[in-house]
Chain A
């Protein structure tokens, strides 16, 4: 069943068009990895799906309903949660408060303070600490936990490994694998192609705001993705 459908979506930052006519479908239970170079439009695409960025054209359907004009806080209540790039925690509030504030406005479901702490054991000792005082890995776990507290049907993860030590990235990905095994639907942006291919069921590669390569992760090779990532084929076509 299609959970999310994006049709000919355009998104801009002023005069810069970051997302150009993107068509995308995400099925229930699927993990889609978005890869692409810096400035390819991955973050803008995720933020537009979450409602944090206005769509300039095109439509977004969630569970069949057109949510293009729905504000972010209502999309969250419908079941779309974004873990933003750079984590964006409420740094003056405690970890527990960060989780509670999300739970108060999200949907009811299996994710509660207890189950989130169970999924991210490193947070147990940190619940009373100010979120701004945590290490990067702990902050990322809090940010994912905060999104989970709203019991989303669709989880959007933007560069969860950015700025983390390799060991912290491993911990975050172990938690993600548990989520995926539990049947969660995830769209994630990842710079590390190896990790993206390992965790995702499908991969879409963005180049200059367009999807230039899309397919099941098992059919993808690092070479094909790299070629699309840098737009090499287009360069070769132009040369020949």
Chain B
């Protein structure tokens, strides 16, 4: 029974990972930018929500109304001032730019808030630990369930938005071929800025939920970035439903690992990630290239 409980916990945790990962995946899919500051932007949003809740005493859920548009604005500004310029210099430069941005955010938050671990849990009252009893000994955490539901709604909404709205089609067209998109009347520069705003707003949403369910510090970003990467790679880059599946696989792997051994939470997630990566590498047929890929695919 404990395994079923852990499975359910893992699935719900996977919802958080999917929420965290979809902004990263979206930005890569549209602009071919690997945003190494994604986790730190999530933590930035968490800090903003914390400062808001701490100074006003109003619920962090209300803070979301302000934090999400603010994060979208930051995303728009980042694209216009930094990412757009670095993209012009090739695909590797944005990697350096976002790496630098990550360091700036981390140390900026450290300077302002100090090294203390914080959490938004005290500001949401009972909701942080409430649960529903499904049967006598299976409980579902209400916050975890809410985050999962939000993740499903956000990913589904994003999928519908991209598939069935004019702006969504413009984003897909620009992602596929920005030069031709301009030839059918799309302002690719504006579309990129909107996509960056969406991606950073999604990072912010995930960050505020992280702060509700766990503790965070100014240096928590890179760990979250790794989880987001793992979810994206397990689920397959560019697929939103895949991202949800990837998040769930990672979450279940981690909770099962933690059940096997208290130290097993992180390592089992990484092992599953590496196994999927090796499997993909093998499937892609790169075994023929020899070397470490051939070794990873088990054909050495």
Contact A146 B184 (CB under 8 A): yes
Distance in Å: Cβ of A87 to nearest Cβ of chain B: 9
Give the contact stretch, choosing among A93-101, A180-188, A193-201, A217-225.
A93-101
Contacts of B173 in A (CB 8 A): 90, 93, 101
Whether, in the assembled complex, B183 has its beta carbon less than 8 Å from a beta carbon of chain A, the answer is yes
Q: Find B186's partner among A50, A81, A91, A101 (CB 8 Å cutoff).
A: A101
Contact A101 B184 (CB under 8 A): yes
With the chains together, A97 CA to B164 CA distance in Å?
A: 9
Give the contact stretch, choosing among A10-18, A24-32, A70-78.
A70-78
Contacts of B169 in A (CB 8 A): 93, 97, 100-101, 104
Contacts of A106 in B (CB 8 A): 184-185
With the chains together, A110 CA to B180 CA distance in Å?
A: 23
Whether, in the assembled complex, B126 has its beta carbon less than 8 Å from a beta carbon of chain A, the answer is no
Whether, in the assembled complex, A82 has its beta carbon less than 8 Å from a beta carbon of chain B, the answer is yes
Q: Given A101-B169, A104-B166, check contact A88 B177 (CB 8 Å).
A: yes
Contact B184 A92 (CB under 8 A): no
B150-178: CB near A (< 8 Å → 1, else 0) gives 00000000000000001001101100110
Q: How large is the interface on A (under 10, 10 to 19, 20 to 34, 35 or more residues)?
A: 20 to 34
Which B186-207 residues have C-beta < 8 A from chain A? Answer: 186-188
Whether, in the assembled complex, A102 has its beta carbon less than 8 Å from a beta carbon of chain B, the answer is yes
Contact A93 B172 (CB under 8 A): yes
Whether, in the assembled complex, B130 has its beta carbon less than 8 Å from a beta carbon of chain A, the answer is no
Contact A73 B182 (CB under 8 A): yes
Q: Given A90-B173, A90-B180, check contact A73 B166 (CB 8 Å).
A: no
Contact B186 A90 (CB under 8 A): no
Contacts of B214 in A (CB 8 A): none
With the chains together, A204 CA to B169 CA distance in Å?
A: 38
Q: Looking across the interface, which residue of chain B has its beta carbon closest to that of A105?
A: B185
Whether, in the assembled complex, A51 has its beta carbon less than 8 Å from a beta carbon of chain B, the answer is yes
Whether, in the assembled complex, A36 has its beta carbon less than 8 Å from a beta carbon of chain B, the answer is no
Contacts of B181 in A (CB 8 A): 90
Contact A51 B185 (CB under 8 A): no
With the chains together, A51 CA to B185 CA distance in Å?
A: 11
Distance in Å: Cβ of B32 to nearest Cβ of chain A: 15
B264-283: CB near A (< 8 Å → 1, else 0) gives 00000000000000000000
With the chains together, A52 CA to B178 CA distance in Å?
A: 11
Question: How many residues of B are counted as interface, with CB atoms below 8 angstroms from the partner's CB atoms?
Answer: 17
Contact A73 B187 (CB under 8 A): yes
Whether, in the assembled complex, A150 has its beta carbon less than 8 Å from a beta carbon of chain B, the answer is yes
Q: Find A93's partner among B176, B179, B186 (CB 8 Å cutoff).
A: B176
Q: Looking across the interface, which residue of chain A has its beta carbon closest to that of B190?
A: A73
Q: Given A90-B177, A104-B166, check contact A76 B172 (CB 8 Å).
A: no
Q: Given A93-B169, A100-B169, check contact A105 B186 (CB 8 Å).
A: yes
Contact B180 A73 (CB under 8 A): no
With the chains together, A54 CA to B164 CA distance in Å?
A: 34
Which A37-89 residues have C-beta < 8 A from chain B? Answer: 50-52, 71-73, 76-77, 81-82, 84, 88
Which B226-282 residues have C-beta < 8 A from chain A? Answer: none
Max count, chain A CB within 10 A of own CB: residue among B170, B182, B185: B185
Q: Find B180's partner among A71, A84, A104 (CB 8 Å cutoff).
A: A84
Distance in Å: Cβ of A192 to nearest Cβ of chain B: 24
Contact B180 A76 (CB under 8 A): no
Contacts of B188 in A (CB 8 A): 73
Q: Given A93-B173, A97-B169, A100-B169, check contact A88 B180 (CB 8 Å).
A: yes
Distance in Å: Cβ of B175 to nearest Cβ of chain A: 9
Contacts of A93 in B (CB 8 A): 169, 172-173, 176
Contact A76 B176 (CB under 8 A): no
With the chains together, A81 CA to B183 CA distance in Å?
A: 7
With the chains together, A84 CA to B184 CA distance in Å?
A: 11
Q: Given A97-B169, A101-B170, A104-B166, check contact A92 B183 (CB 8 Å).
A: no
With the chains together, A77 CA to B183 CA distance in Å?
A: 10
Contacts of B180 in A (CB 8 A): 84, 88, 90
Other than the given A73-B185, A105-B170, 20 more pairs (CB < 8 A) read A52-B182, A71-B182, A73-B183, A73-B186, A73-B187, A77-B185, A88-B183, A90-B176, A90-B177, A90-B181, A93-B176, A97-B169, A101-B169, A101-B186, A102-B185, A104-B166, A105-B185, A105-B186, A106-B185, A147-B184
27 A-B pairs (CB sep. < 8 Å):
A50-B183, A52-B182, A71-B182, A71-B187, A77-B185, A88-B177, A88-B180, A88-B183, A90-B176, A90-B177, A91-B176, A92-B172, A92-B176, A93-B169, A93-B173, A97-B169, A100-B166, A100-B169, A101-B173, A101-B186, A102-B185, A104-B166, A104-B169, A104-B170, A105-B186, A150-B184, A150-B185
B residues near A (Cβ < 8 Å) are 166, 169-170, 172-173, 176-177, 179-188
